[in-house]
Amino acid sequence: MEPKGATGDYVVRTVLKEERDYYDEHFEQLRGQYPDQHLVIRGLQVIGAYSSCDEAIRAVYAKGIKGGALVRKSGTREDTLVAPVLVRG
């Protein structure tokens, strides 16, 4: 359920919307292609698939992805992590 705003209306999630939409639109394909993997999605592509959530999170930070990345376990509908990363430069 989305959080409610001050007016009582539901707030539309816009954080990493492109990535969420990509995952939802390719749900079945990703579930089949990456069974039981934690996917790192940035933009309109999977940039990594890992056996554990910790490994996926470490990869997001190691790659220095600005603006964050969506991490989800394939075949699930809930976010594992939305990780903004601050890097120098």
Section 28-47 average pLDDT: 96
Q: For 29-38, how does the pLDDT look when each residue is reduced to its tens digit (9 = 90+)? A: 999 999 999 9
Please provide the distance, in angstroms rounded to a whole number, between the alpha carbons at the two ends of the chain: 37
Six-digit token string for 26 = 């390719």
Domain boundaries, the chain: 17-82
Q: For 9-25, how does the pLDDT look when each residue is reduced to its tens digit (9 = 90+)? A: 444 456 788 999 999 99
Say if residues 35 and 76 touch (Cβ distance below 8 Å). no
Q: Which residues have a Cβ under 8 Å from the Cβ of 61 and sit 6 or more positions away?
A: 83, 85
Q: What is the DSSP string of 19-46?
A: HHHHHHHTHHHHHHHSTT-EEEEETTEE
Residue 74 has pLDDT above 80, yes or no: yes
Say if residues 3 and 14 touch (Cβ distance below 8 Å). no
The model's pTM is 0.75
Section 51-76 average pLDDT: 89
